[in-house]
């Protein structure tokens, strides 16, 4: 009996991430934005994870919208810093375009020196805005200290995006 061979294809995906070794290497507007994220990180309500995250979003109207993670004893009810900020931006400035997001995370248990990217839920939420506005959103992320990673678009972090065209 002859077996039919499958014609499997390989797909290669590449992402480009820029690395800045320290905040001082960032452009001055991004240093300021990351400073806002670091500042708001202190407002995180993280009694369970002890992992504080801050996010700051720069809009095309010049406004900066901030958010910090807000936990809940019923774990799925909490919200990440990125979604707190992006949903607030969408509610208060619905016509504005999101240009850049700065994210920083710090653990109360140990020093966080590895850049912390947005979680999957946050990536999907950022994707919704990037697709809706039809322009990329620059994403800068870091730990408490150390290197900062920059993605020119959410597509680098979530190459197979789910959007309304798939519904």
The set of catalytic residues is 82
Beta strands in 21-157 (DSSP E): 51-59, 64-68, 98-107, 138-142, 148-151
Alpha-carbon gap, residue 66 to 63, rounded angstroms: 10
DSSP element (H, E) containing 82: helix 81-92
Cα torsion at 16, 83, 50, 73 (round to 10°)?
A: -140
Cα–Cα distance measured from residue 103 to residue 119, given in angstroms and rounded to the nearest whole number: 11
């Amino acid at each position: 009996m002859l077996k039919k061979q499958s014609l499997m294809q390989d797909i290669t995906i590449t992402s480009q991430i820029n690395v800045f070794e320290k905040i001082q290497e960032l452009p001055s507007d991004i240093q300021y934005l990351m400073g806002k994220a670091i500042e708001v990180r202190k407002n995180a309500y993280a009694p369970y994870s002890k992992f504080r995250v801050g996010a700051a979003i720069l809009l095309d109207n010049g406004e900066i919208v901030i958010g910090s993670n807000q936990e809940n004893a019923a774990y799925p009810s909490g919200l990440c810093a990125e979604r707190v900020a992006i949903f607030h931006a969408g509610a208060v400035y619905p016509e504005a375009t999101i240009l850049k997001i700065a994210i920083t995370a710090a653990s109360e248990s140990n020093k966080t020196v590895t850049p912390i990217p947005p979680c999957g839920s946050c990536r999907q939420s950022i994707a919704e805005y990037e697709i809706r506005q039809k322009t990329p959103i620059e994403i800068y992320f870091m730990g408490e200290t150390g290197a900062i990673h920059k993605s020119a678009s959410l597509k680098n972090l979530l190459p197979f995006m789910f959007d309304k065209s798939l519904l």
